Amino acid sequence: MLSTSHSRVRTIAAIGTAGVLAGIGAVAGQASAAEVSAPAVAAADVRQVDVPRIDPAIRPPAGSRPVGAYLVVRGTQTYTCAGGVFTGPSVPEAQLIGTGGRIRHFKGPSWQSARDGSLITAKKTAESPRPGAIPELLLTVDTHSGTGMLGNVAYINRLLTSGGVAPSGSCTDGATTAVPYGAVYVFWTGQS
């Protein structure tokens, strides 16, 4: 039997995902829409938040369809110190929950479904800055393994980012630090 805590997380994820999908669907269907406001629930504090429009610079191509939306329930971006500062690309490690169950996000960057083992990797196509947070992204999938729920994914958006920014100040070369972050990931099929 599931604990009450797990049931709440699933309920929160389902409510948040429904709001995100409503907003994403409206934006995908009406590319000229300036902004979509849909209710979503942040798992960390159970507050309603507005889902912003997808910046045109990071929208997937017209005709792409959402496969699912996933909330980061626990995530870090790990940075390595080089030249006395934390810099360069980060390595993600995150647990996502959403419309298709759980997904692990890790180095690659890679995403793997806990439900069926399908695995994808992707490369950054475009980004949109967010003050005080890692940027929002559009990624293009470049490898697939398995035919499960991620088997037809062609694009990924990282949206509503918070945290995850490399710390400032000096550090010892080779040291690593894991910085917590939050985001919503939306997975898309290619153009139909």
pLDDT tens by residue, 33-50 = 223 333 333 343 222 223
Residue pair 110/32 in contact by the 8 Å Cβ criterion:
no
| Domain boundaries, given as residue ranges, for the chain | 56-189
Q: Residue 140, Cβ neighbours under 10 Å: how many?
A: 15
Centre a 10 Å sphere on the Cβ of residue 34 and count the other Cβ atoms it contains: 7
Nearest of 102, 85, 86 to residue 94 by alpha carbon: 102
Q: What is the pLDDT of residues 126-146, one digit of tens each?
A: 999 999 999 999 999 999 999
Q: Has residue 76 got a pLDDT over 80?
A: yes
Average pLDDT over residues 91-100: 92
pLDDT digit string, tens, across residues 13-29: 443 444 444 443 433 33
Residue bearing the bigger pLDDT, 83 or 30 = 83
Is there a contact between 110 and 121 (Cβ–Cβ < 8 Å)?
yes
Q: Do 141 and 118 meet the contact criterion of CB atoms below 8 Å apart?
A: no
pLDDT of res. 185? 92
In this predicted structure, the answer to whether residue 30 has a pLDDT above a threshold of 80 is no
Quick count: other Cβ atoms within 10 Å of Cβ 101?
16
More confident position, 6 or 111: 111
Average pLDDT, the chain: 78
Could you report the per-residue pLDDT of 154-179, keeping only the tens digit for each? 999 999 999 999 999 999 999 999 99
> Quick one: three-class SS letters along 130-163?
ECCEEEEEEEEEEEEECCCCCCCEEEEEEEEEEE
